[in-house]
Amino acid sequence: MVAAGRRAAACGLLLALLAGATAACGGEDYDGGPIDPGGPAAAAPAAAVRPLPRSLPERIEIPRLGVSAPVSELGLKPDGRIEEPPLSRPNLTGWWKKGPTPGEGGPSVILGHVDAMRKPAVFHRLKELKRGDRVKVTRRDRTTATFAVERVEQVAKSSFPGEKVYAEDIDYAALRLVTCGGSFDAGTGHYRDNVIVYSRMVAN
């Protein structure tokens, strides 16, 4: 009887230790599903507004995260992959210049590093964004396009939805923010996942 009690205690200890280990493992990871804390019943962002003419982005601000950063332009690398902002400028974001500008009709895309040079970078806390959070982009024509977050997703890089992120055929102005997430693959030198924030313009 005493031995049985000890076995029960041992099992409890085992479970507690495993639970601790699991929490540590999953501390940086999502389950891969969309983040929508309010659920379908939550108040939707304000209705979309009329898209703006094309004008290049200059600065992005995300009040909830305390982000205020300049926006550079990103093209294609020789291998057909998208360029990234230089790691030497961790606070610099980059806009995909072959797509719509933020505020134009269609999906515009801005990338930022999650970390660089041993420091958290501009989009380090991107995954903390919640439905309804605002993202503001100041444009060269002195207008500011304000976007409301619709959802945040974490996807494996092997199944990155390029068609949806860069080329979805939509009749409103959208902004997609992209950074890295998940675990780090020391073999490739890259994170295994991407964090994608989907937002749509609600004011300008």
Partner 1 sequence: MGIRRLAALGAVSGATLLGAAAPATAAPHPPQNGPGDQPVGPPRIKAQPNPFRPGDNLNLQVTGCEEEPKANGPRNEIFFKGEPASFDDEGGGVWTAIASTRTDLKPGRAYVTEFFCVTPKGPAGFTLRATVAGKPKPPDDGPPGDGDGPGGPPADPRFRFDHGDVRLTTRRAEPGRTVGIRVTCPSRVRAYSASFSSQPRMEWVQKNRWEGVGRYRTHLPSIVRLTVECVGYGKVSFSTEPGRPEVDDGGPTIPRGAPDTGDGSTLSRSGGGSADAAGPLAASLVALAGAGLALRRRTAREDG
Q: Of 132 and 196, which CB lies nearer to partner 1 in the complex structure? A: 196
Considering only residues 55 to 74 of the shown chain, the ones binding partner 1 according to CB under 8 A are: none
Which residue, among 113, 135, 140, 134, has the nearest Cα to 57 in the 3D structure?
140
- 140 part of the interface to partner 1, by CB under 8 A: no
Dist CA 84 CA 28 (whole Å): 23
By CB under 8 A, tell whether 160 contacts partner 1.
Answer: yes
Q: What would the x/- binding string for partner 1 be over residues 5 to 24, using CB under 8 A?
A: -x--xx--xx--xx-xx--x
Smallest separation (angstroms) from partner 1 to the CB of 179: 5
For the bound state, the minimum distance from the C-beta of residue 38 to partner 1, rounded and expressed in Å, comes to 27
Q: Contacts with partner 1 in 22-61 (CB under 8 A)?
A: 24-25, 27-28, 50-51, 54
Q: Nearer to partner 1 by C-beta: 130 or 192?
A: 192
Quickly list DSSP for 131-155: TT-EEEEEETTS-EEEEEEEEEEEE
Listing DSSP states for 15-67 in one string gives HHHHHHHHHHHHTT---SSPB-TT-TTSPPPPPP-PPPPP--EEEEEEGGGTE
Residues 173-192 that bind partner 1 (CB under 8 A): 178-180, 182-186, 189-192
